[in-house]
């Protein structure tokens, strides 16, 4: 096998060599004449001609001169051709610049034609004057127009932005001043708006202030402050004091009525009104007193007038309602000007024989329901006696004192209800009592007629009037 393998390899090599030889012969078959393959004669002829040219060149001075001249001319032609190409390129560039410049000229002419008269006569000269400041020393060309325009626009925009910031800061200061003016003079500026658009309103107010020439009336203002404002505050304080004394007088009148009513065997009720120590009420009364101190003697001191003005101003501002605390100020105003809130009311149960206190009622906490009702009926009866001008225990008159009580006894105990009705009978009051049927057995001994109200299916109410005798007869018939 090794010998056969070697033989096969040798034969393959021979076959490859024969294939190459065959390919060469195939290519040679394309040539029909040997001269086509014979290169030596051609090479010999080229060498001969080159040798002959060298001999001619070396042996002729005229040819040398012409050759040098030709070389120089060819070199000049190259230089001139380069210049021609550069000139052509420069011409193309100039033509393009000319075209662009003409186009820009047409656009600028169109813009200038559409510009307003104000722009042509006012704005353009201002731009020319600002150009030196914006661009400095410069040479303006067609090519640099666009760049200089951009530089000018950037300079103008920067200047505009700076002015806008200045205007914004100025606007904020103006609005802050408007707000401060509104906060200081609320009454005069109640319809004014803290905005730039409302500037005309402030100009009108300024013109009015200047035309009024208020400094000329400063002395008159101080005089009116002392004579009128402080006097009105004093009147207000006096009115509150009168209301306070009225309450005390009414309490005394009610106590006179209560003294004639037996709250318990051998005891009666006295209402007591002590001044409230609430800080807001106390401070308000002190502020009022401070406004009127030295008001009778007066003072020529400017600081005195200014101090009084500020004291009154603080109180009036709270009455009007300050910004941010309007609701709190309204509650405060109702509280401090309602003289009833100046007092803390209580009741004292005392013995008739020596007026010694048996029990003190600061409130109704800790008391039973019957005790609360009994105390309430006692105070109510005394108040009615005061309202009608009745004297408890005096002879009954034929005058008409009508009282309507709506469900007053609906939830009360029978004992307290009888106590209240006995009080009203002693006072000779004419009662109309609206109450559910479950209290009719308690009320019956104190009434002369009843009215039954019935509503069928909640659609129609009906009223039936009966005397107390008719009511009792029908009740006997129904129960019998």
pLDDT tens per residue, range 230-257: 778 888 888 999 998 988 888 888 788 7
- If phi > 0 it is left, if psi is from -120 to 50 it is alpha, else beta; for residue 433 that is beta
Query: Concatenated DSSP letters for 165-183?
Result: HHHHHHHHHHHHHHHHHHH
Residue-wise over 440-474: b if at least 16 C-beta within 10 A, else e? eebbeebeeebeeeeeeeeeeeeeeeeeeeebeee
Task: Show Cβ contacts of residue 367 under 8 Å, excluding neighbours closer than 6 positions.
Answer: 361, 375
pLDDT tens per residue, range 32-87: 777 777 788 888 888 888 888 777 767 667 777 888 888 899 999 999 999 999 99
Q: Name the DSSP class of 393.
A: T
Question: What is the SS3 assignment for 404?
Answer: strand
Gap between the Cα atoms of 262 and 256, Å rounded: 12
Gap between the Cα atoms of 91 and 333, Å rounded: 95
At 4, the pLDDT band (50, 70, 90 cuts) reads: very high
Most confident of 129-133, 224-228, 289-293: 289-293
pLDDT tens per residue, range 414-459: 787 888 888 788 777 888 888 877 777 888 888 889 888 888 777 8
CB 451 within 8 Å of CB 467:
no
pLDDT at 121 over 80: no
Per-residue model confidence (pLDDT) at position 457 = 79
CB 343 within 8 Å of CB 278:
no
Gap between the Cα atoms of 255 and 260, Å rounded: 9
- If phi > 0 it is left, if psi is from -120 to 50 it is alpha, else beta; for residue 464 that is beta
pTM of the shown model: 0.47
Element (H, E) at 449: strand 449-456
Residue 249 tokens, joined: 């007088």
CB 333 within 8 Å of CB 318:
yes
- E-only strand ranges, 91-132: none
Tell me what the pLDDT averaged over the chain comes to: 81
Residue 203 tokens, joined: 């100009």
Kindly list the domain boundaries of the chain, sorted by start residue: 218-363
């Amino acid at each position: 096998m090794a010998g056969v393998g070697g033989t096969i390899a040798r034969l393959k090599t021979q076959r490859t060599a024969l294939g190459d030889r065959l390919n060469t012969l195939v290519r040679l078959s394309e040539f029909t004449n040997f001269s086509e393959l014979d290169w030596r004669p051609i090479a010999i002829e080229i060498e001969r001609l080159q040798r002959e040219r060298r001999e001619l060149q070396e042996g002729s001075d005229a040819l040398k001169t012409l050759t040098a001249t030709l070389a120089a001319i060819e070199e000049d032609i190259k230089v001139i051709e380069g210049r021609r190409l550069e000139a052509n390129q420069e011409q193309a560039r100039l033509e393009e610049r000319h075209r662009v410049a003409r186009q820009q000229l047409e656009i600028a002419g169109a813009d200038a034609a559409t510009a307003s008269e104000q722009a042509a006569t006012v704005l353009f000269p201002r731009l020319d004057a600002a150009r030196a400041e914006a661009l400095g020393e410069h040479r303006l060309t067609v090519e640099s127009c666009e760049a200089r325009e951009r530089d000018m626009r950037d300079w103008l925009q920067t200047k505009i932005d700076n002015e806008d910031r200045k205007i914004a800061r100025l606007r904020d200061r103006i609005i802050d001043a408007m707000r401060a003016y509104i906060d200081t003079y609320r009454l005069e500026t109640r319809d004014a708006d803290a905005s730039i658009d409302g500037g005309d309103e402030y100009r009108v107010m300024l013109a009015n202030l200047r035309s009024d020439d208020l400094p000329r009336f400063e002395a008159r203002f101080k005089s009116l402050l002392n004579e009128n404002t402080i006097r009105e505050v004093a009147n207000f304080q006096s009115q509150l004091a009168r209301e306070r004394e009225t309450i005390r007088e009414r309490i005394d009148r009610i106590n006179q009525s209560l003294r004639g009513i037996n709250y318990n065997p051998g005891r009666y009720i006295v209402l007591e009104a002590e001044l409230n120590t609430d800080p807001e009420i106390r401070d308000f009364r002190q502020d009022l007193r401070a406004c009127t101190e030295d008001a009778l003697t007066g003072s020529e001191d400017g600081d005195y007038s200014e101090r009084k003005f500020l004291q009154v101003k603080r109180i009036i501002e709270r009455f009007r309602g300050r910004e941010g605390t309007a609701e709190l100020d309204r509650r405060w105003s109702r509280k401090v000007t309602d003289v009833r809130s100046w007092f803390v009311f209580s009741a004292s149960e005392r013995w008739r024989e020596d007026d010694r206190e048996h029990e003190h009622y600061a409130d109704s906490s800790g008391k039973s329901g019957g005790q609360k009702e009994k105390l309430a009926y006692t105070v109510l009866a005394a108040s009615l006696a005061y309202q009608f001008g009745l004297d408890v225990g005096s002879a009954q008159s034929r005058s008409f004192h009508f009282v309507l009580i709506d469900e007053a006894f609906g939830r009360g105990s029978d004992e307290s209800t009888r106590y209240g009705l006995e009080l009203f009978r002693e006072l000779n009051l004419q009662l109309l009592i609206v109450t559910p049927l479950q209290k009719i057995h308690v009320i019956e001994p104190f009434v002369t007629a009843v009215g039954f109200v019935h509503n069928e299916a909640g659609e129609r109410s009906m009223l039936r009037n009966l005397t107390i005798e008719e009511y009792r007869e029908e009740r006997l018939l129904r129960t019998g």
